């Protein structure tokens, strides 16, 4: 594996169907900090010790997850926001 750089990340985002400019805009909002704080709180409340573990909108997935499954979960959550 090579080094991770911003151009490589941008290419990976585009390949995954993510608009890098849209993601950057979303990440610049104050909502991001509160969402991360919420996920950290959930991590601590659930005493999660498994890595990798993934929390998306309060849903916990311990262990690995296939990229195709992750994309499907994210698309479903985006289609039906809470």
Q: How many helices (H) and strands (E) does the chain have?
A: 4, 2
> CB pairs under 8 A, 24+ apart, for 27-31?
none
- For the chain, how far is it from start to end, CA to CA, in angstroms? 37
For residue range 38-68, what is the model confidence (pLDDT) as tens digits? Answer: 988 888 888 777 777 777 777 777 788 889 9
For residue range 65-78, what is the model confidence (pLDDT) as tens digits? Answer: 889 988 998 898 88
8 Å CB contact between 68 and 56: no
């Amino acid at each position: 594996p090579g080094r991770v750089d911003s151009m490589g990340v941008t290419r990976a985002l585009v390949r995954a169907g993510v608009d890098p400019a849209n993601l950057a805009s979303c990440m610049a909002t104050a909502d991001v900090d509160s969402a991360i704080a919420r996920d950290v709180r959930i991590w601590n409340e659930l005493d999660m010790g498994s890595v990798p573990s993934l929390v998306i909108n309060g849903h916990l997935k311990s262990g690995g997850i296939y990229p195709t499954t992750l994309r499907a979960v994210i698309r479903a959550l985006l289609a039906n926001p809470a």
